[in-house]
Amino acid sequence: MNEQLQQIIEQKIKAYCEANAIPLAALKWMPIPFSGEWGMSTSFFQTAADEIRAGGAKKPVPARAQEIADALKGQMGGVEGVSRVDAVKGYLNVYFETAAYARRVASDAIASRADFGRGAPKGQRLMVEFSQPNTHKAFHVGHLRSAILGDSLARILDFAGYDVVRANYPGDMGLHVIRWLWAYMKYHNGEEPEADITNWMGMVYSDATKRLEENPELEAEVRALYARWDRRDPDVVALWEKTRQWSLVGFDQMYDLLDIKFHKYYFNSEEEQPGKEIVAELVKRGIAIDERPEGPVIVKLDDLLGNKNEKFRVLVVLRSDGTALYATEDLSLVLHKFRDYPDMVKSIYVVDVRQSLHFTQVFKTLELAGYEDAKKCAHVAYELVTLPGNVVMSSREGTVVLLENLIREAIERAKEEAKKKNPNLGEEQLNAVAKAVGLGALKYPLLARENAKIVTFDWQSALDFNGQAAPYIQYAHVRCNSILRKAGVETLNVKRSTFDYALDPSEIELIEAISRFPAEVQRAAEEYKPLVIASHGYEVARTFASFYDKCPVIQAEENVRAARLELVMAAKQTMANALSLLGIQAPEVM
């Protein structure tokens, strides 16, 4: 945003240092800690340290840094857009002209609208695979994090300038599916899903596990059914196809509600055969060892890499009976993705942290086999959502909060709240607000957290609409809208203001927060961290709330009013864009 200014200043610094034989270290610019003015700052500690180490002046580093800063301050006269320059504690602080800076930030945000903060197209494609639900099972809160995190990540990467392919990889075959089919045929034959499809699918699955626990001898029937599947018995295949579809429809309903979209579906059932072929290839090339029939087909990664410590360990790529494992299918999936999109620069897997070793092994195995694309694969690991007391949600243990119930509850609670807060809302508006607020409150805590940290789910905080939460940002957005509506300028066409008055500190902080948004988008994309956006969106809302309290807009005198209207528009746009990157709606009223 201040690149031009930065270059001019850097030129001056370099020229001076060259002329005086000072070994200037790389310049890095940072914001000045808030002082009621905007500016940028750089320090000379590194330069001073280098100089002293090289046998220059014998004095403490901070003192020498301050000397350099002082000298440079004298060189900075007359730069357009710079109001003053300070040398303090070894830092050179360059302050911007207030009015000019405010004008630029506000008009930027307003002119760019929904594209404010969008990065220039990078011309690079990448894939984000996320969600990976199992068919024939319930969808619970534990599954929500991958869906929410992956969706937000995809939105952020897209906004940052990448071409993003959103991929899903449902687990549609495996022992759990066979168990489900067995229970369905035996105890639920002919039944159809109820309204909450995934809940019902989960119910049949728990029935299966319960019956098998009570009567372990029934496992023989399950194995027999698995054999029929392996033979592709038409009746079994037909039932699988039909019931699998139920799950997929159920997932679609959930994704619809959550506003999550996919471009591409991969299914593990489709990777089974190609996976086996890859394993055969690995055996032929001496990377995998076939111990069948006594043992499985394995890849001894540490041996192949010559590691002393067990780090990569052994990857089992095929069962001793020749059937496929997830590893078998994951090997194939890597290649499948790059066949579909050969130009991808990165293939990202948003999967929980417990599978870190698994993905390390899969990618490393392919790398050893010479598949260069494997190096472009990255596992973005996230921690689990647990229940209070560090209880892991498990369908089998019955320790789950079913997603459909949670969503219903959140929206219901939001509706109650909205009715209380704003009795003037019509029925249609009320429902829309309830959905936006309820879902936002649900998503935000999953995003406003370091990926690698556990989220403890409890109803109380999930349904708490106060404080650092999505509704706070949404509310700030609504207040912006309200001001603009009353001022009659929803159109975003307002006379450009000069910002030629003494800005309130809250205005300065708000402009500062708005101006940082584009850089935060890039950082979030680089680090794969929606948290960055969640925090910054909140920061914008917080500074706006303070501004709202201190600075009357509509009643201000004309010049100030025009400026503040621009600020409100810019703030509204920034919050709307931030929320959108989190997959959260920005309502116009609440």
Partner RNA sequence: GCCCCUAUAGCUUAAUGGACAAAGCCGCGGCCUUCUAAGCCGUUAAUCCAGGUUCGAGUCCUGGUAGGGGCACCA
Amino acid of residue 106: A
Residue 534 to residue 170: CA distance in whole angstroms: 28
Residue in 255, 326, 341, 371 binding RNA, rule: CB under 7 A: 326
**Identity of the residue, 329 or 344, whose beta carbon is nearer to RNA in the bound complex:** 329
3-state secondary structure of 171: strand
Is residue 169 within 8 Å of 266, Cβ to Cβ? Answer: yes
* Three-state DSSP class for residue 455: strand
Sequence-distant contacts of 191-198: CB under 8 A, at least 24 apart: 193/246, 193/250, 196/250, 196/402, 196/404, 196/405, 197/246, 197/247, 197/249, 197/250, 197/253, 198/137, 198/138, 198/139, 198/247, 198/250, 198/251, 198/254, 198/402, 198/403, 198/404
> Among 214, 217, 310, 372, which residue interacts with RNA (rule: CB under 7 A)?
310
Which parts of 224-283 interact with RNA (CB under 7 A)?
Answer: none
Among 223, 263, 354, 396, binds RNA (CB under 7 A): 354
Nearest to 425 by CA among 198, 590, 259: 590
Residues in the chain: 590
Please, what is the minimum distance in Å from the beta carbon of residue 428 to RNA?
15
E strands present in 224-304:
264-265, 289-290, 297-300
- The distance of closest approach from Cβ of residue 405 to RNA in the complex, given in angstroms and rounded to an integer, is 20
Task: Confirm or reject binding of residue 205 to RNA (CB under 7 A).
Answer: no
Residue 468 binding RNA, by CB under 7 A:
yes
Residue 56 makes contact with RNA by CB under 7 A: no
| Closer CB to RNA, 261 or 453, in the complex | 453
Does 22 participate in binding RNA (rule CB under 7 A)?
no
The interface mask with RNA, positions 153-172, x = CB under 7 A, is ------------------x-
Does 450 engage in binding with RNA (CB under 7 A)? Answer: yes
Q: Which is nearer to RNA, 344 or 480 (CB)?
A: 480
Min dist CB 439 to RNA, Å, is 12
Shortest approach of RNA to residue 470 CB, angstroms?
Answer: 9
Other Cβ atoms less than 10 A from the Cβ of 60: the count is: 11
Asked if 223 is part of the footprint of RNA (rule: CB under 7 A), the reply reads no
d(CA 191, CA 204): 10
Element (H, E) at 125: strand 125-129
User: How far is CA 316 from each of CA 330, 349, 541, rounded to the nearest angstrom?
Assistant: 12, 20, 50
Instruction: State how far the Cα of 5 lies from the Cα of 217, in Å rounded to an integer.
Output: 77
Nearer to RNA among residue 344 and residue 366 (C-beta): 366
> What values do phi and psi take at 344, rounded to 5?
-60, 135
**Which one of 117, 133, 174, 202 is in contact with RNA (CB under 7 A)?**
174
CB of 546 to RNA, least distance (A): 4
* Strand duo 264-265 + 163-168: pairing: parallel
User: What residues numbered 475-534 form the site for RNA, per CB under 7 A?
Assistant: 475, 478-479, 482-483, 486, 531-532
Nearer to RNA, 116 or 547 (CB): 547
At closest approach, how far in Å is the CB of 314 from RNA? 4
The three-state (H, E, C) secondary structure of 367-434, written as one string: HHCCCHHHHHEEEEEECCEEECCCEECECCCCECCEHHHHHHHHHHHHHHHHHHHCCCCCHHHHHHHH
Among 41, 107, 112, 522, binds RNA (CB under 7 A): 41
Instruction: Choose between 116 and 472: whose C-beta lies nearer to RNA.
Output: 472
Window of 96-104, 146-154, 451-459, 572-580 that interacts with RNA by CB under 7 A: 451-459
Contacting range for RNA; rule: CB under 7 A; set: 215-223, 249-257, 258-266, 459-467: 459-467
Q: Quick one: 344 or 534, whose CB is closer to RNA?
A: 534
32 interacts with RNA by CB under 7 A: yes
Specify the stretch interacting with RNA by CB under 7 A; choose among 161-169, 196-204, 400-408, 412-420: 412-420
Rg over alpha carbons for the chain, rounded to the nearest Å, is 29
Position among 5, 13, 22, 61 found at the interface with RNA (CB under 7 A): 61
Minimal distance, residue 414 CB to RNA, in Å: 6
- Report how far apart, in Å, the C-alpha atoms of 5 and of each of 391, 463, 541, 580 are: 54, 46, 29, 31
List the interface residues with RNA, window 535-564 (CB under 7 A).
535, 538, 542, 545-546, 548-555
CA–CA separation, 572 and 570 (whole Å): 5
Find the part of the chain contacting RNA (CB under 7 A) among 71-79, 160-168, 306-314, 338-346.
306-314
| Stretch of 83-91, 239-247, 394-402, 491-499 contacting RNA, by CB under 7 A | 83-91
The residue assigned the tokens 């360059």 is 94
d(CA 330, CA 175): 17
Q: Which residues, 372 to 411, sit near RNA by CB under 7 A?
A: 383, 390, 392
